[in-house]
Amino acid sequence: MNALSIRNLRKTYNNGFEALKGINLNVEEGDFFALLGPNGAGKSTAIGIISSLVNESSGSVSIFGHDLKTDRARAKSCLGLVPQEVNFNQFDTVKSIVINQAGYYGLPRKLALQRTEYCLKQMDLWDKRDTVSRRLSGGMKRRVMIARAMVHAPKLLILDEPTAGVDIEIRRAMWKMMETVNQQGTTIILTTHYLEEAESLCRNIAIIDQGLIVENSDMASLLARLHVDHFVLDLAEPLGQVPVIAGYQIEGVTDKVLNVAVPKEMGLNQLFSQLSALNINVISLKNKSNRLEQLFMDLVESKPTGTE
């Protein structure tokens, strides 16, 4: 079953700006799905329509088979949203923010209390439950929004740039949390500007640009389309000058670190043979984590060709 199904969705704002030009998208149940795109591409509009914050101009959205127009309450019950910006009452306590949201979803008081405790403990916020939310750090505020979105145990969770502006420690903890939530059966749609985040977490991906979906496939096949892999080589000895090897593009990062673009048809063996011949000893090798970034740039810089 599709967790989310979007058909020919269009949105034109009052000022005439056409944010969505008829997109089609399916997200399967249980998926961890990346929705990427540059600023102003239409991601936030699409998420706004899915979560009933923006009125669509035409088209349809259904969540777990429930049409958002004709079966709105059931569709909404399946959805949890973690928005991009903090949008809770900054004068409320952490606990009241989460428990009120449970009430809006119709959870009886006893169950709401249990779910609130569970979600706040999951987010490591239980000891902050009576703190007024404006006194929390940025990372904690984001975790409050995740706890709030999770309190009614949604089947589909949309995370709109959940790790923007948080430090690496919190980001990694949030990645772990998102993976756990997904493993427990919740479908996740993630938007992010950290492409390595999408690459490491998501199984399927759609890229949206100028109101159109310019790519929609699984992550592995998308990355397989890369004709060039980028590697970082750490050298045993400093180099006087960057070596030149036919077929490989080599840049010096420092006198002991090289960036090498390796065409797939040439491979690494030939590169290492040539480096050995030049008496250059490599002590370690790692893949640069910008493979998706490179594809992303290629896709959004080329002209969109379709709507799906």
Partner 1 sequence: MMNYSIALKTLITKEVFRFIRIWPQTLLPPAITTALYFLIFGKLIGDRIGTINGASYMDYIVPGIILMSVISHSYANVVSSFYSTKFQRNIEELLVAPVPNWVILGGYVSGGIIRGLLVGLVVALISLLFADIVVKNVLITLSIVLLTATVFALAGFINAVLAESFDDISIIPNFVLTPLSYLGGVFYSVEMLPGVWQMISKGNPILYMINAFRYGLIGVTDVNIQLAYLITGGFIAVLTLFSLFLLHKGIGIKN
User: Is residue 54 part of the contact set for partner 1 (CB under 8 A)?
Assistant: yes
Q: Do β-strands 79-82 and 66-67 pair in parallel, antiparallel, or remain unpaired?
A: unpaired
**Strand (E) or helix (H) holding 10:** strand 2-12
User: Is residue 114 part of the contact set for partner 1 (CB under 8 A)?
Assistant: no
Footprint (CB under 8 A) of partner 1, residues 71-110: 72-74, 76-77, 79, 81, 83, 85, 87-90, 96, 100-101, 103-109
For 128, the 3-state DSSP assignment is: helix
User: Is residue 23 part of the contact set for partner 1 (CB under 8 A)?
Assistant: no
The answer to whether 146 and 112 have CB atoms below 8 angstroms apart is no
Q: How many other C-beta atoms are found inside a 10 Å radius of the C-beta of residue 212?
A: 20
Q: How far is the CB of 138 from partner 1 (least distance, A)?
A: 16
The pattern of x and - marking residues 238 through 277 that bind partner 1 according to CB under 8 A reads ----------------------------------------
Number of residues that bind partner 1 (CB under 8 A): 32
Enter the tokens of residue 246: 């036919």
The sign of the torsion formed by the CA atoms of 78, 84, 90, 94 equals positive
Closest to partner 1 by CB, 26 vs 57, is 57
Collect contacts of 134-142 with beta carbons under 8 A, ≥24 apart: 134/90, 134/91, 136/94, 138/165, 138/166, 139/166, 139/167, 139/170, 141/86, 141/88, 142/82, 142/86, 142/166, 142/170, 142/174
**Distances from the Cα of 80 to the Cα of 83, 117, 147, angstroms:** 10, 17, 10
Q: How far is the CB of 41 from partner 1 (least distance, A)?
A: 16
Exposure on the CB side of residue 156, measured as CA atoms within 13 A? 26
Closest to partner 1 by CB, 48 vs 205, is 48
For 1, the 3-state DSSP assignment is: coil
Closest to partner 1 by CB, 13 vs 268, is 13
Q: How far is the CB of 210 from partner 1 (least distance, A)?
A: 18
Closest to partner 1 by CB, 48 vs 211, is 48
For 136, the 3-state DSSP assignment is: coil
User: Is residue 51 part of the contact set for partner 1 (CB under 8 A)?
Assistant: yes
Nearest Cα to Cα of residue 189 among 154, 158, 143: 158
Choose one: 27-35, 47-55, 212-220, 227-235; the region binding partner 1 (CB under 8 A): 47-55
- Per CB under 8 A, the list member of 8, 52, 217, 289 interacting with partner 1 is 52
Closest to partner 1 by CB, 24 vs 100, is 100
Closest to partner 1 by CB, 51 vs 191, is 51
Q: Where does this chain bind partner 1 (CB under 8 A)?
A: 13, 45, 48, 51-55, 72-74, 76-77, 79, 81, 83, 85, 87-90, 96, 100-101, 103-109, 148
